Structure 1
Amino acid sequence: MLEFAWPWLFVLLPLPWLLRWWLPASDSREAALKVAFLPELAALAGRHAGIGLPGWKQQLPYAAIWLLLLTAAARPLWVGEPAPQPTSGRDLLLAVDVSGSMEYPDMEWEGEQISRLELVQRLLGDFIEGRHGDRVGLILFGSQAYLQSPLTFDRQTVRAWLDEALIGIAGGNTAIGDAIGLAVKRLRDRPADSRVLVLVTDGANNGGEIDPLVAARIAARQGVKIHTIGIGAPADAADPAMPFGFSLGVELDEATLREVAALTGGRYFRAGTRQELAAVGAVLDELEPAAQPPEQARYAYPLHPWPLGLALVGSGWLVVASLWPKRLTRRRRRVAP
């Protein structure tokens, strides 16, 4: 089915003729000879004399080019039949801690020491890619919580936003409660059995306005299941002299993270390896998808290059045609006896 993205542009169709009538005639400031009987001569020759518009035959090529240009500008689209989009009904928000302590390089990846945020980006990046049919969103939190990406089927974009996350972009503290509150706000209007939050942090709540346990109880009433992940190497393997005054064994509030998960029917994980984070995916795969209205999408194929190309070809032909008779006439005059 043919559709136009901007059909209102066709109201400009009479614009050249209106400008021709409204604008004053140009003054060449050259001497001119006025012939009083010119209309009579034109009538005898079967032609029209005057300053009006040329005949319709002369205007037809220009009108066709103008119509083609307007058609291209209106962006014609060929819209196909609606195609159903597979959805599981699962709505998954990821809340990732980007506070200052996430920069500490106490994690290992393929024999290389990397920061905690880098580990989260690499592990959760693959995790996001595997959420086929799920709506995935991203929250970044530090001293405050921000919705970096709303719930969407575009997993590649969500992963890109996660990969581009920077340490300290949301402040240096850890507002776990605010992150949970923002997630509840975004998930409460979704189907009841599909609301899932995966919260990743390496510290304790020391910022924000909402206590994590209070936020967890609100989430439980709204039917939001929270899986919490404590990021960081084991306490006995960590260097006790950590920047920002953090010590993993003291600062990671595992008790609160466990209780947040328990209040909402989720689970707590300690993520230091790929296998531990894969356990989160296994739990999410066990969730029953909620029934949602089927979504349909129409594929639209742009057609504007065709009228635009025809307009360019027609313009080139008019230029050549306007120059050719003059050259031919000059040559005939030169060879005339």
Structure 2
Amino acid sequence: MFEFAWPWAFALLPLPWLIALIAGKQKHHSTLMLRIHALAHMGMTNTKVTPSRKWPHWLLAIVWALVVASAANPVFRGEPITLSEPGRDIMLAVDLSGSMREQDMAYQGRFVDRLSVVKAVLSEFISQRRGDQLGLILFADTAFLQTPLTRDVDTVAQMLEESQIGLVGRATAIGDALGLSVKRFNEKSQSNKVVILLTDGQNTAGNLKPEEALILAKDAGVKVYTVGVGADGRNQGGLFSMLGSSGAMLDESLLKTIAEQTGGQYFRATDTQSLANIYKELDALEPQAEQEQTFRPVDALFYLPLSGALLMLFLAALWRQLKQQAVVGDA
């Protein structure tokens, strides 16, 4: 829809005529005397002078109207566009400890390591988070922020895919991961503060105990959903199974306590399907917010009448110059 953002600017349209009306009578006498003096000078020198031509009034009127139209800021407003505001802020905390290398989870007809299954299923969960803000924390000996909270879920998925076991050690610092998540949420003034923490073990490293991190999470109002990954030790062929690092070593009691005391929920992921079902349940537990923001794109068009005014002045000046040259040539 075409409209003028500042229509009151059209009140300036009669300004030149008002000025001319007020100043016209005062200048009439002085202008007449100048013309008489010029004619007398012409008679004394006997020189033929071509009288100057004023700009046509209709041209000046059109130029002024175009300038005023430009000042009124013409715009074109497009059709309303509705965008969903970020429904949730979700921090993903993924375990990269050595036990995540154990190949005890079935995926596409074969047993693969736990991290590969987490990547495959979690990537699908990330791709569906349009409208949410996601962050990624990776932890093992300690925890570090791989991706801050962002709407760019494609980048979060890429950072997860590029993560490797051993990147931050081989132990499991659950307390550090939860504590870092709380810290990142505290930097936001408004947030629903949801953490999804995935691990296959128990806290064996880090500077912050899980119990201490839990207190921080409760004080900050962070809701934590914990996911225990592993096949309950049924597949004992892996190296970490022989070392006692299978799913049977998962500290489910700790994960349940963290989830329950923060208002979240604990889930057990023993295979690909159960992990995928968990993310579907999370969608139901943490539904997308229905808040929407509507705006209309605006294209500024002030340059069109302004360009027209400048073009008319240029063409008129060029025509006048050519005509004067023709008159001088005839003389």
What code does the residue aligned with 2:216 have? I
Q: 1:281 to 1:225 in 2, by over 3 A?
A: farther
Name the residue aligned to 2:146.
Answer: 148
**CA drift at 1:254:** 0.8
What code does the residue aligned with 1:119 have? V
Contact kept in structure 1, 2:182 and 2:217, CA below 8 Å: yes
Name the residue aligned to 1:283.
Answer: 282
Name the residue aligned to 2:113.
Answer: 115
For 1:101 and 1:132, the matched residues in 2 are separated by 32
> For 1:66-106, what per-residue CA distance to the aligned partner results, in whole angstroms no more than 9, with x for missing partners?
xxxxxxxxxxxxxx989664224300010000111111111
Query: RMSD between aligned alpha carbons?
Result: 3.0
For 1:296 and 1:184, the matched residues in 2 are separated by 34
Counterpart mapping for 1:231-242 below 5 A:
231-239=229-237, 242=240
Q: 1:132 to 1:88 in 2, by over 3 A?
A: same
Secondary structure of 1:194's partner?
Answer: coil
Contact kept in structure 2, 1:83 and 1:297, CA below 8 Å: yes
For 2:161 and 2:280, the matched residues in 1 are separated by 19
Gaps of 5+ in 1: 1-79, 301-337
**CA drift at 1:238:** 3.6
Q: Percent identity?
A: 40
Name the residue aligned to 1:36.
Answer: none
**CA drift at 1:118:** 0.2
Secondary structure of 1:128's partner?
Answer: helix
For 1:145 and 1:299, the matched residues in 2 are separated by 45
Which of 126, 129, 134 lines up with 2:127 in the alignment?
Answer: 129
Larger Rg: 2
> For 1:263-306, what per-residue CA distance to the aligned partner results, in whole angstroms no more than 9, with x for missing partners?
11111111123442222442343336679895989899xxxxxx
Moved more, 230-239 or 265-274: 230-239
Count of aligned pairs between the two proteins: 221
Secondary structure of 1:235's partner?
Answer: coil
Q: 1:169 to 1:87 in 2, by over 3 A?
A: same
Q: 1:194 to 1:284 in 2, by over 3 A?
A: farther
Q: 1:245 to 1:285 in 2, by over 3 A?
A: same
Secondary structure of 1:149's partner?
Answer: strand
Contact kept in structure 1, 2:106 and 2:272, CA below 8 Å: no
**CA drift at 1:139:** 0.4
Gaps of 5+ in 2: 1-76, 300-331
Q: 1:275 to 1:240 in 2, by over 3 A?
A: closer
> For 1:112-167, what per-residue CA distance to the aligned partner results, in whole angstroms no more than 9, with x for missing partners?
11111000000100011111211011000010101101111111111111111001
Q: 1:104 to 1:164 in 2, by over 3 A?
A: same
